[in-house]
Structure 1
C-alpha cells in the first residue's frame, strides 16, 4: 500500500474531534482525498461537520460507498490514561488514543485503501466516502444530512460498507448485516399531591408508575427471530424529585430503553405501551405521558452477492469466516439502509469508549488490506 493507513490513523487521533468539534480531522481527510482526485464537498448542517468525497463520475452505474465518523466520545479523566488520549503513541506495536478503535483507524483504513485503489487501478465506476462528525452525538445532522444532500443532488451509492468495530475478540470473526431497533420512552405519571398520612386525599403516581413498569417487564417481548436475538427492555431511571418523606408527590418519571428486533416496529411498541398505560389509568386514575423517541428501526441486509463479497474478503485476509450478526447497539447503518444495501465490518472493539482505548497496529494494516480487496473484487 502506498498510503500509510497507520500514519493517517495517528494524524486523525491527534485531532481533538470530540463531538461536536471537527478538530481538524475532516480538513485533513479532505486535503488527502482532493489530492488523489476525489471531488470533496463539506455538507455541514446546523453546525455539524460532514464530508462527502467522490472519485469517478457522478451518477455512475456502479458505485461503492464507505461510511464512517471522525468524532469521538470525551476522554473522561485524562489523568487515568496510561498515554495521552490524543497522542497516538505506538508502544510495543499498539496505538493508544481516543478513536483508536471507534473509529478513526477504520476511516484511515478505507481512505487509504480508496486512494491507492483509484490511483493504481482506476475503476469503471465511482468510489464514495461519506464521513460525519456527529455519530457519537445526536446523529440528526450527521449521516442523515449527508444522505439528504445526496438525494437532493443526485448522488448515490450502489452499496455501502460502514467501518464500525464489529469483532468482539479476534480480527475477522464478525460482520454486521443488520442492527436492532432502538427507542426510549420518557414516561411521566401525574397524580394528586398530598400528605403521606392521608393517602385517601391524594393519588400516588409512583404506585401507578411502578405498576406500569412491572407490566412492561413481566414478560419477554419475544423469543428472537431468524436473524435477531430476543428484544430487550431496560428501566434506566425512576425519579420523582421529592425531598420530603411525608409528601405524596404529584408527578413521577421513568425512562425505559428498548432494543427491538424485526418482530416489532417503533410504532407497534408505542401502541403496546399506550395500551398498558391506559389499563393502569383506568384502574388507578393516574394519567401517563409516554413521550417516545425512536432512534432507529431494526433492519437486516439478507445474504446477497455484496454480503458474500465482504465475507470472502475478510476470510481471505484473516483466515476466519465472519459470523453474520445483528448484535450490538445502533450505528449509522440504520440511516444508510434506506439509501442502499449496507453491511458493517471493522476492528476488534474491546476498548472502544474506554480509558486507554487502543488497537494493535497490525489490525489497522489488516483492515486496510481487507478494504482494498473488497474494492478490487467489487469492480473486477
Structure 2
C-alpha cells in the first residue's frame, strides 16, 4: 500500500457559546480547522485533523498547519502509511519541529492502518480499557458568578468534571475557584487551569488562598521552572500541560517530581504515535492524564476517544468532546456526548466518514 495523493481542507468551526476566553485576555470565536485526507493505491482513505487554539496559545496556528503540510506532503507520497515510524521519520526529516503540522498526517495514517486491519484504532493502541470515557467541560473565563452558573447548567447535562479557565486577575481567580467549587458535589472534579497566565507571585497567592479546597492546579506559570517553584509551595494536586511537549520533558518532570498528572494533547506532541509513547510511559510510572487536544471538530474528537478508551481508567483523569462545543459537523460517526461521557463507535480506523458537502473543495492537493 502506498500514499498516492493528499487532499487538504480548511473549515471554520464557530462556537456555540460565541466566544471562548482563557488567560491573559486571550479569546477565540471561530476555530481554523485543517483536515487531511490521505489517498492510497488500495482505495483506502485516511483522515486526520489539526485545530490550534488560535495563534497565541502554543507555537501553532491554522495557516501554519497548511503551510507545513505543503512542505511535508510531497515527502511521504509513495510510502506505506501503515509504516508509522517511517512516516514520522520522513516528516521529521522534511520539517524540523512543528509537531502540530505532523499530527493530522499521523492520525490519518492510523485511520488507514485501522481500516486495513478492520479494527478500531483503540484496539491497535492496546485494546479497549473502558467502555466510555468521562468528559470534562471547559468553563470559559468570565465573571465568577457566570462561571458558577454555567457549571450548574452543565451538571444537568451529566458532566461531573470541570476545567475552569483562570490565569487572569489573581483576586478574581480566587473568587472564581471558591464560587465554582461551592456549587459542586464532593465527588465532582474541579481543575483551575491558568494556561500559563499567572506570574509566580500571583500563583503563590492563589494556591495559598484555595489551599483548603478540593481543586487541581494546572499550568500556573509560563515556564517549567516557574511551575516547579509553585509546585513546591502547595500540597494541591498539580497538573502540567503546555510545557510537557514530548518524552524528554515528561522524563524531566518525573525526575523532579514536578506533577501529579499531565495534560496530553495529541497535536502538541505530533500525533497518536508519539501520544501513545507518552501515554504508555505515564501508565508505567503512575502518572494520570487528561487526554485531549488543543481544539477540534469530529476527527479530533474521535482520535481523543480512541486514545482515551485504550487507557486504563485509573490513569485517565478526564477527556473532552470538542465537537459538542461547535456548531458545524464535518464527519458522520464521530463520538457524541451522552450524559457526560463519550465513546468511539467500534468501526475500523477512526470510525468517521467525512461529510464532503461540509468540507467543500480542498485548498491544497498534493500528488
Same fold by TM-score greater than 0.5: no
Could you tell me the TM-score, scaled by structure 1's length?
A: 0.23
Structure ranking higher in helix proportion: 2
Could you tell me the TM-score, scaled by structure 2's length?
A: 0.24
In terms of Rg, which structure is larger?
1
